[in-house]
Amino acid sequence: KAGVTQTPRYLIKTRGQQVTLSCSPISGHRSVSWYQQTPGQGLQFLFEYFSETQRNKGNFPGRFSGRQFSNSRSEMNVSTLELGDSALYLCASSFGGANVLTFGAGSRLTVL
Amino acid sequence: KQEVTQIPAALSVPEGENLVLNCSFTDSAIYNLQWFRQDPGKGLTSLLLIQSSQREQTSGRLNASLDKSSGRSTLYIAASQPGDSATYLCAVRDGTGTASKLTFGTGTRLQVTL
């Protein structure tokens, strides 16, 4: 079966712009969570959605937002990009959130 | 606030060696713990998940143990191979269950040489 698909895989933006990343979970998975990975901070939890509802949120500014659609696909948006937002953004899906997570390959964002 | 530490940060071993990776966490009231591997520039691959009520899990050459009371987990890799070279991460889900956050360790970068 298809894995977790993230698009785009790579993107370059400039400071002040906004970006939207997409995540299609494994069929049947209702939980999607997002993570930011940087060399300095490691992997940090952004937020989790379950059945179109945000169930949990990490310690990130309001510029980071997300949503989940009725087909469980999820998007995250970062507005007013800063240089420090350059990172690998990973999403993961699971049946119920506390089960085994399956990760996508990530979206690598570079902010110039 | 849960903090997860992995030691060592990097490890290089010759092929065939058995090795142990360590993960420690500060809050023992966890729901479960997962071990992942990450290849350079790639996403994470789940290796093992241990529920808080379990002591260990095994998959092939991998064995993960959990000692909640001491806040520690170990990942044992038997007969290491060059294909095991990757970064290994542990992640702890706190005790509130399905709606709780996952906290990752900083990882151990493993290199298995020929």
Residue-wise DSSP of A15-36: TT--EEEEEEPPTT--EEEEEE
| Percentage, residues of chain A above pLDDT 90 | 83
- For residue B34, the model assigns a pLDDT of 95
Yes or no, beta carbons of B44 and A45 under 8 Å apart: no
Chain B residues with CB-CB distance to A33 below 8 A: 102
Yes or no, beta carbons of A43 and B89 under 8 Å apart: yes
Yes or no, beta carbons of A102 and B46 under 8 Å apart: yes
Average the pLDDT over B70-91 and give the result: 97
How far is Cα A63 from Cα A81, in angstroms, rounded to an integer? 8
Contacts of B46 (CB under 8 A, 6+ apart): A100, A101, A102, A103, B34, B35, B36
What is the tens place of the pLDDT at every residue in A23-33?
999 999 999 99
- For residue B95, the model assigns a pLDDT of 63
Shortest distance between the Cα of B19 and any Cα of chain A, in A, equals: 23
Structure tokens at A39: 């060399």
A1 falls in which pLDDT band (50, 70, 90)? Answer: low
Q: How high does pLDDT run on average in chain A?
A: 93
Average the pLDDT over B71-81 and give the result: 97
A108 falls in which pLDDT band (50, 70, 90)? Answer: very high
What is the tens place of the pLDDT at every residue in B17-68?
999 999 999 998 898 999 999 998 888 999 999 999 999 999 999 999 999 9
Query: To 10 degrees, the CA torsion angle through B9, B36, B106, B2?
Result: -130
Average the pLDDT over A17-42 and give the result: 94
Compute how many other C-beta atoms are within 10 angstroms of the C-beta atom of residue B63.
Answer: 16
Identify the three-state secondary structure at position B83.
helix
Nearest by CB to A106, from B43, B93, B103: name it: B43
Average the pLDDT over B102-110 and give the result: 94
Yes or no, beta carbons of A103 and B44 under 8 Å apart: yes
- For residue B110, the model assigns a pLDDT of 97
Average the pLDDT over B74-99 and give the result: 89
Q: Is the CB of residue A55 less than 8 Å away from at least one CB of chain B?
A: yes
